[in-house]
Structure 1
Amino acid sequence: MEMNQYLSMFIDESKDHLQAINENMLSLESSPEDISIVQNIFRSAHTLKGMSATMGFEDIASLTHEMENVLDLVRNHKLKMDSFIFDCLFKSLDSLETMVEDIIQGGTGKADVTAVVAALKTIVSGDYLKASSGGAAEAAASSAVQGGPAELDEFQLSIIEQSIEAGIPVFWVEVSVRPDCVLKAARAYMVFNVLEQNGEVIKSLPSVEDIEQEKFDQKFSVYYISQVDKDQLAAQVSSVSEIDRVDIVALDHETLAARLQSAAAPAAGTAQAAAQAAAQAEVAAASAAEPVKAVEKKPAASGGPVAGRTIRVDIERLDTLMNLFSELLIDRVRLEQLASEIRKNDLTETVEHMARVSSDLQNIVLKLRMVPVDTVFNRFPRMIRDVSKNLDKKVDLIITGAETEMDRTVVDEIGDPLVHLLRNAVDHGLEPTADRIAAGKPETGTIHLRAYHSGNHVFIEIEDNGRGINRDKVLDKAIQNNVVTKEQASRLSDNEVYSLLFASGFSTADKISDISGRGVGLDVVKTKIESLGGRVQVESTYGVGSKWTVQLPLTLSIISAMLVRLKNEKYAIPLSSIVETAAVKAEQVRSVHGNRMVNYRNSVIPLVSLAELFDVPGQEDNGTEDTQIVVIRKGEKLAALVVDEFIGQQEIVLKTLGKYLTNLFATSGATILGDGQVALIIDTNALIK
């Protein structure tokens, strides 16, 4: 039990330190000379090393120790940051995150990190500079001079060189599948699975994306680092079905150089072509190294960091606190009723004081579950950096409103939908650099990620200054996929056309990439957000950009509601869906095709009797001639609900109806009122089709 408690603390603190390293690494990439940032990264790595060593996670401890050695040289001005060191530290960080995630899933936190540890060691020794300037690097350089693209980039080449230097086995593996193989990609996937269990794939030829899409003939090859014996490796790969042949070559400096020269030879060309290729490579490298800027508009801190101001509390404990407090509220109302009957001054004063204290306590309890959305937002700058580098685009991510608070349960769920929308904005929204320059736009694209409160909702906006959505292309695809008919398409407004993007399996991508555009995603995004009681919509101007807006409830556990009476029972209607309350006269109600309708602000909307709909027992209330109505909204559609009496507005604690009462029509839960009665909460969205 005690060990589990420590493990939980280790996981929580490790995630915090990894996130801190991530954020500081991005800052350092923008300001490589700022030693104070290096100090912060060093402290996080040092703490993580100590914690993991104490818990017995040796692989994490050894990797963070090697990172410390590199950072120590940098902070003492003995080493200057360069693109190779940044890539190596980011790769180390990815390995640490993988190992911590393995521990979270119940694993041992072990991983083969020999290659990246070897790379860090050669940075400390300074050998990485020699490795990049000699041996196979010369072969790669000479292949570029001859006009052929190098098989390995600078980082991959250095990793391999350093592994050979450190005595770690490096292999070139060529795998041939049988000519009659039907599912080549599936067999290749199984081969990669075998390889990744025993070592690290440094480079795949062709790329993993091409292999996934079966864009290869009968062969593919990889540069591979592993401690496994060559014959054992060949046997394991050969055991995969429909593999025809496996050739494995153990690489040293000479065989690596020969391998790279032979790969470059077929592509050799003229000196002029080589010069052009070198120039293009230089531009590409410069743009790839361009760091993504993450700008967050925050008030400036007046002093240094404040430590020890927060504690972690399990969400279940907060749920228990919420339930206990709702019981306390019931007793408070009963005490107030008793005090009014007994009429003793001392008792009345005591109950009034208790009422004031419990009101303050209620506000604190409601706020305890609220957390700022920056717990989700803070992982996006690194993600955008990696995606933009992968797509060779320059991107500024500007974050505002990260301090906006939401219920913890909502915050935990919105991460994945936002990841997809942001990746979509970089991949499909922002044009390639050449297209942006041709269109007269700045070569660096901008993505704004905003969060703000409005009423009982939080709005999150993702806005890009990219190409926008091509209305005609969306319509053509929708007609082609039988989402709409040509007749319907001619009547759709722009917003209705853009909403077609959320149809299941809908994609306008000309080219499928591993970033987005696989035809799944936006429908899943919409489903997830709607399951949280929110909605998502998109606005776009072709050639100017797009804005995706996600609307979410402030909280899932406490809502503001209007209490109403239907005959003998009380019900709650969420305020967020109410437009207004009113009393209508009998002459305003009319019948259209057998349905009751009511005049409302120059339009006619349906009239729904809740008492009849829910079959509420009791006598009809004919006390007044006027009909009391609650006008509700779902999107652009309105309806009027008939009630017998308005009781008043109240903050209510939303409780589920348990596993026995599921799929009840138009009911989203229940709440316990001050007098101990249970009131059902009406799901107004279910009442409007």
Structure 2
Amino acid sequence: MDVNQYLEVFIDESKEHLQAVNENLLALEKNPEDIAIVNEIFRSAHTLKGMSATMGYEDLANLTHKMENVLDGIRNHKIHVNEEIMDVIFSSIDDLEEMVNDIASGGDGKRNVTEVVEKLLKIEKGESPSSSPSLPESPSNEDHSDKVAISSNYDEFERTVIQQSNEQGFTCFEIGVELRSDCVLKAARVFMVFEVLEKCGEVIKSTPSTEQLEEEQFDDHFTVTLVTKESSEEIESKVKKVSEVEVVTVAELTLDAPTAEPAQEAVNEIKNAAASIAASSSVQTVEKPVKTPAKEDTEQKNTKQQAVSSKTIRVNIERLDVLMNLFEELVIDRGRLESISGELNHPELNETVERMSRISGDLQNIILNMRMVPVETVFNRFPRMVRQLARDLNKQINLEIIGAETELDRTVIDEIGDPLVHLIRNAIDHGVEMPEERLSKGKSAEGTVKLKAYHSGNHVFIEIEDDGAGIKRDKVLSKALAKGVVTEDQAQTLSDKQVYELILASGFSTADQVSDISGRGVGLDVVKTTIESLGGSISIDAAEGQGSIFSIQLPLTLSIISVMLVEVDKEKYAIPLSSIIETAIVKKEDILNAHNQQVIDFRGKVVPLVFLENIFEVPITEEKDNYFSVVIIRKGDKMAGLVVDSFIGQQEVVLKSLGNYLSNVFAISGATILGDGQVALIVDCNALIK
């Protein structure tokens, strides 16, 4: 079997399991006595180990196995959770993540993990991981000829057979056999191996079982236990003569040998790999403990969860892009059909077009939802990162995540991770003060960093807020003047918010000394560039001594949106419905002037007016009457009224990019093709309010 076809699934599932382990470890740190959490971690680690061994990534499987041994000790109350042990397990997860990332980028997943393995072995033996080091175990130089103890995989009868065989002068060997990955008739090769072994002695056990081996319910590895009088060298030589057998490991079974020999580790990994494939076709292994009444309910729940997961498939994002492009063309044709139907006023045609519109509307919702991913997939990695940063900086940090269910297009999700990482590190390093300093200011010793996501109009906003020291306006301004970012005259007219946003300039920094965690300003220009490349923007608000808020505005990047079509003179514009509160007709005499700005009194609120004919420099061909058509729009808590000539109506349109050449047109987010073939520009309401 060619395992390369499963590589993409392996990488995705490995990342999911590692994320689940990270989240549960953070929960375990707060509730060290909760064995249910340990069981969840153990289950994820066990599955990851089986998958890794199946795919042939032995270093990954070996490290996971060592970590699994520690988790097993915790859940059996042999090891008590403390901060030192948690640090070692977290360090193991870091190495596992690096290995998976290496595999994802085309590497072999190998990594020097001698130090962390040594610590895990000490924890397993009940020693402190920070005690003086013993000779390190080298997983890559295993001695396959050593003796190993009988493991718990053997029942009482099999143990008795092995014991009596030893007493009568026979030797018991555990023989691990690995077939070539391109082996076609695996069952035939297994039969040939058994035929060779049965001539040497008597086979008393195989893993997987003989039935599973005959039905090829295993990958490339299987294990056979043999009672014989021949030597390990003779057996190894005979088995290797079978064609398409790649690796043979022979280990002698004894009743009193130590239990942690390297050879046993190799055999265990082969077993886990075989069990992984036998357990499920989706490369997942399931624990099968002895059933007790308390465990049966849990197993039933797990079965239900597996049944649900089996109904999920992974689809390449490129296929969704093609599907979206085809549907966009369908929407344009639908608009054209609706236009023709309205002109002809044919009853049967009208009925058919209405039905097609309803069905295509449902199809549209499904396609758009398929591309949307909760920002939770990005936010999930931050609790672990914040924990480590807080420890490195000796600070107390509480991370609050709000709105993780907010959905964004997959393409934006993939790009937004790195900017958020930098902003959070920046907030913790330079925003939140040391505990002593916070206490002296009358604050709590623990600083709070809030990560918040929410929808507003046709945009998603992500805010990183901290209750730290804020930003010193004078310090930023003096640095900006020294670096020539602004002139003396400009500095006099800048608002606080404009001053704060100067730290986004390239190479700008207010840090007195460079930190390896972050530097406020160093790299923030990269954050700004990345966000703007996604069609978004970043703004900063702060209060010295109270904290700061970095607000990121991102487009949903939905290709199909609902709009209100309006007319300005003879040109048509589309205003996204998600930004509109309502429409109104306003008399000319109701327009007031305040601070050189025309405003109206709208339901007790002063709303500034924006004349689209002035913004877009539309040539006026007709004289205006005494009434204005106004579209009231909102961005957050701010409102504005867009003055147009007339309303055309609501319609769903395809959002088309203006291309690279027209990427920076003010207040225009794209264009669309209407049912009659005309092109209408889509208004960016957020830009107008800003």
Call closer, same or farther: CA 1:436–1:30 in 2, change over 3 Å: same
Contact 2:331–2:653 under 8 Å retained in 1:
no
1:96 paired residue number: 96
TM-score (norm 1): 0.65
Q: How many angstroms apart in 1 are the aligned matches of 2:59 and 2:472?
A: 50
Please list the CA deviations of residues 168-188 of structure 1 after superposition, one character each: whole Å capped at 9, or x if unmatched: 99xxxxxxxxxxxxxxxxxxx
Q: How many angstroms apart in 1 are the aligned matches of 2:404 and 2:87?
A: 28
2:327 paired residue number: 325
TM-score (norm 2): 0.65
Q: How many angstroms apart in 2 are the aligned matches of 1:641 and 1:84?
A: 61
Q: How many angstroms apart in 1 are the aligned matches of 2:59 and 2:138?
A: 18
1:436 paired residue number: 438
Contact 1:610–1:642 under 8 Å retained in 2:
no
Call closer, same or farther: CA 1:585–1:467 in 2, change over 3 Å: closer
Q: How many angstroms apart in 1 are the aligned matches of 2:430 and 2:548?
A: 10
2:504 paired residue number: 502
User: In the TM superposition, what are the counterparts of 1:142-291 in structure 2 within 5 Å?
Assistant: 154=130, 158=132, 161-164=133-136
Q: Secondary structure at the match of 2:134?
A: helix
Q: How many angstroms apart in 1 are the aligned matches of 2:361 and 2:636?
A: 34
User: How far apart are 1:423 and its partner, in Å?
Assistant: 0.9
1:353 paired residue number: 355
1:650 paired residue number: 651
Call closer, same or farther: CA 1:652–1:84 in 2, change over 3 Å: same
Q: How many angstroms apart in 2 are the aligned matches of 1:165 and 1:33?
A: 31
1:108 paired residue number: 108
Q: Secondary structure at the match of 2:470?
A: coil
1:418 paired residue number: 420
Q: How many angstroms apart in 2 are the aligned matches of 1:454 and 1:684?
A: 11
Q: How many angstroms apart in 2 are the aligned matches of 1:345 and 1:43?
A: 62
Contact 1:605–1:638 under 8 Å retained in 2:
no
Please list the CA deviations of residues 487-517 of structure 1 after superposition, one character each: whole Å capped at 9, or x if unmatched: 4434433323222222222211112111111
Q: Secondary structure at the match of 1:312?
A: coil
Contact 2:580–2:632 under 8 Å retained in 1:
yes
Q: How many angstroms apart in 2 are the aligned matches of 1:22 and 1:67?
A: 13
Contact 1:118–1:166 under 8 Å retained in 2:
no
2:480 paired residue number: 478
Selected match of 1:380 from 370, 379, 382: 382
Selected match of 2:533 from 531, 534, 540: 531
Call closer, same or farther: CA 1:317–1:628 in 2, change over 3 Å: same
Range 634-643 or range 561-570, more displaced? 634-643
Call closer, same or farther: CA 1:614–1:13 in 2, change over 3 Å: farther
Call closer, same or farther: CA 1:102–1:588 in 2, change over 3 Å: same
Selected match of 1:459 from 449, 461, 475: 461
Please list the CA deviations of residues 624-647 of structure 1 after superposition, one character each: whole Å capped at 9, or x if unmatched: 797878899999999999876543
Call closer, same or farther: CA 1:639–1:389 in 2, change over 3 Å: closer
User: How far apart are 1:17 and its partner, in Å?
Assistant: 0.7
User: In the TM superposition, what are the counterparts of 1:583-622 in structure 2 within 5 Å?
Assistant: 599-601=598-600, 609=613, 620=621
Q: Secondary structure at the match of 1:26?
A: helix
Call closer, same or farther: CA 1:687–1:24 in 2, change over 3 Å: closer
Range 548-557 or range 561-570, more displaced? 561-570
Root mean square deviation, CA, Å: 4.1
Q: How many angstroms apart in 1 are the aligned matches of 2:637 and 2:358?
A: 41
Q: How many angstroms apart in 2 are the aligned matches of 1:583 and 1:362?
A: 33
Q: How many angstroms apart in 1 are the aligned matches of 2:340 and 2:607?
A: 49
User: How far apart are 1:676 and its partner, in Å?
Assistant: 4.9
User: In the TM superposition, what are the counterparts of 1:370-409 in structure 2 within 5 Å?
Assistant: 370-409=372-411
User: How far apart are 1:79 and its partner, in Å?
Assistant: 1.7
User: How far apart are 1:603 and its partner, in Å?
Assistant: 11
Contact 1:119–1:163 under 8 Å retained in 2:
no
Count how many residue pairs are aligned between Structure 1 and Structure 2. 518
2:18 paired residue number: 18
2:124 paired residue number: 124
Q: How many angstroms apart in 2 are the aligned matches of 1:585 and 1:388?
A: 59
Please list the CA deviations of residues 451-489 of structure 1 after superposition, one character each: whole Å capped at 9, or x if unmatched: 222333322222222222222222222222223344443
Call closer, same or farther: CA 1:448–1:163 in 2, change over 3 Å: farther
Contact 1:14–1:48 under 8 Å retained in 2:
yes
Matched, 1:45 2:17: no
Contact 2:582–2:632 under 8 Å retained in 1:
yes
- Amino acid paired to 1:162: S
Q: Secondary structure at the match of 1:461?
A: strand
Q: Secondary structure at the match of 1:440?
A: coil
User: How far apart are 1:67 and its partner, in Å?
Assistant: 1.3
Call closer, same or farther: CA 1:598–1:632 in 2, change over 3 Å: farther
2:61 paired residue number: 61
Q: Secondary structure at the match of 1:325?
A: helix
Q: Secondary structure at the match of 1:115?
A: helix
User: How far apart are 1:8 and its partner, in Å?
Assistant: 1.2
Contact 2:332–2:654 under 8 Å retained in 1:
no
User: How far apart are 1:426 and its partner, in Å?
Assistant: 0.8
1:202 paired residue number: none
Give me the identity figure in percent: 60
Contact 1:326–1:672 under 8 Å retained in 2:
no
Contact 2:328–2:560 under 8 Å retained in 1:
no
1:289 paired residue number: none
2:33 paired residue number: 33
Contact 2:430–2:520 under 8 Å retained in 1:
no
Range 45-54 or range 482-491, more displaced? 482-491
User: How far apart are 1:570 and its partner, in Å?
Assistant: 4.5
Q: How many angstroms apart in 1 are the aligned matches of 2:367 and 2:549?
A: 35
Q: How many angstroms apart in 1 are the aligned matches of 2:427 and 2:687?
A: 32
Contact 1:28–1:37 under 8 Å retained in 2:
yes
Q: Secondary structure at the match of 1:319?
A: helix
Matched, 1:363 2:360: no
Q: How many angstroms apart in 1 are the aligned matches of 2:468 and 2:624?
A: 61
Contact 2:427–2:466 under 8 Å retained in 1:
yes
Range 335-344 or range 494-503, more displaced? 335-344
Call closer, same or farther: CA 1:407–1:433 in 2, change over 3 Å: same
Contact 1:632–1:639 under 8 Å retained in 2:
yes
Q: How many angstroms apart in 1 are the aligned matches of 2:655 and 2:134?
A: 59
Q: How many angstroms apart in 2 are the aligned matches of 1:358 and 1:22?
A: 42
Call closer, same or farther: CA 1:517–1:78 in 2, change over 3 Å: same
Q: How many angstroms apart in 1 are the aligned matches of 2:453 and 2:688?
A: 30
Contact 1:42–1:72 under 8 Å retained in 2:
yes
Range 555-564 or range 23-32, more displaced? 555-564
- Amino acid paired to 1:29: E
Contact 1:610–1:641 under 8 Å retained in 2:
no
User: How far apart are 1:105 and its partner, in Å?
Assistant: 1.4
1:673 paired residue number: 674
Contact 2:669–2:682 under 8 Å retained in 1:
yes
- Amino acid paired to 2:361: S
Contact 1:632–1:684 under 8 Å retained in 2:
yes
Contact 1:99–1:109 under 8 Å retained in 2:
yes
Larger radius of gyration: 2
Contact 2:390–2:396 under 8 Å retained in 1:
yes
Please list the CA deviations of residues 324-356 of structure 1 after superposition, one character each: whole Å capped at 9, or x if unmatched: 222333343444456567766555444433322
Contact 2:339–2:675 under 8 Å retained in 1:
no
Runs of 5+ unmatched residues, structure 1: 133-153, 170-302, 590-596
Runs of 5+ unmatched residues, structure 2: 142-300, 601-605
2:79 paired residue number: 79
Contact 1:381–1:397 under 8 Å retained in 2:
yes
Range 93-102 or range 333-342, more displaced? 333-342
